[in-house]
Structure 1
Amino acid sequence: MAFNFDLNNIETLLSNTVLNATVGFASDFNYVREHAVHSAQLFVLPLADDNINTNEVPGLDEYQVKDVFAVMIVIPCSAGNATTDEQIKQLRSDIKTAVAGCQYAGWDAIKLDKGRTIELSKKTNNLIYQCQFSVTGIHTVAVRAMP
């Protein structure tokens, strides 16, 4: 198990299950904010990680690793309206259904943390909504003596 959860798993999952949006690539949140979209797109971004030392056994350190990530829903929208509202509701539901509860080797089941509207940009005419998830796992590290 690696210290960081592999977000490629989530991108693949969303590509295969959410049919009314495409999964895009973004290096960070600023990229998502600055580029206009022409149809609904999803972006998977890391948000935070936390490593808590849970056990000290001579020669081994055990950590409870918690990774927090977001699935950003970006849709073209110049103003809030009923169509946009319905599209966001449907995409939120599809994403939560697809991701929440999934479990990958070495990690506990993914949990839904929260969701919120991030912004409605007049510059790009994008509405951005964030679905936030967390996943935990145990990682054991062998202590290495350095010369």
Structure 2
Amino acid sequence: MSFNFDLNKVETVLKQSAIRATLGFSSDFNEVRKRAVHSSQLFVLPLAEDNQNTNQVPGLDEYQVHETFAVMIVIPCLTGNATSNAEIKELRGQVKEALAGCQFEGWDPIKLDKGRTVELNKETNNLIYQCQFSVTGIHTVTVKVMP
């Protein structure tokens, strides 16, 4: 098991689902905010990680790894209106349905944390909605004795 949850697996699930949005690539949220889109796009971004030592057996350390990530839904929108609200509602439902409960080897099932509208950007004419998910796994590390 890797210490970090592989977000490429989340992207693969989204690509294989029937979501009416393309998957974009971005290294961080600020880059997503600056980019104008011409059709609905999804961006998978890491948010936070927390590692707690749960056990101390001589020679082994066990960590509960908790990672939080977001799927940013970005749609082109001049003003907030019923059409954009309906599109966000449809896309967030599809994203939640595609990801909630998915389980990958070494990790518990993905859980939906929360969702919220992040912004309506007047410069790019983007409406951005964030679906936040979390995943937990146990990672065992063998203690390395240094000379």
Given the two structures, how large is their TM-score scaled by the length of structure 1?
0.99
In structure 1, give the amino acid aligned to 2:140: T
Contact 1:18 1:95 in 2 (8 A): no
* Equivalent in the alignment of 1:82: 82
* Equivalent in the alignment of 1:45: 45
Aligned residues: 147
Give the C-alpha shift of residue 16 in structure 1.
Answer: 1.1
- 1:103-124 Cα offsets, whole Å, 9 max, x none, are 0000000000000000000010
In structure 2, give the amino acid aligned to 1:109: P
- Paired residues for 1:17-96 under 5 Å: 17-96=17-96
* Equivalent in the alignment of 2:140: 140
* Equivalent in the alignment of 1:125: 125
Moved over 2 A (4+): none
Give the C-alpha shift of residue 9 in structure 1.
Answer: 0.5
- 1:62-120 Cα offsets, whole Å, 9 max, x none, are 00000000000000001011110110000000000000000000000000000000000
Within 2, Cα distance between the matches of 1:42 and 1:16? 13
Percent identity reads: 71
Contact 2:40 2:75 in 1 (8 A): yes
Give the C-alpha shift of residue 18 in structure 1.
Answer: 3.6
Q: Secondary structure at the match of 2:78?
A: coil
In structure 2, stretches of 5+ residues that fail to align are none
In structure 1, stretches of 5+ residues that fail to align are none
Within 1, Cα distance between the matches of 2:129 and 2:3? 27
CA RMSD of aligned residues (A): 0.6
Given the two structures, how large is their TM-score scaled by the length of structure 2?
0.99
Give the C-alpha shift of residue 146 in structure 1.
Answer: 1.1
* Equivalent in the alignment of 1:116: 116
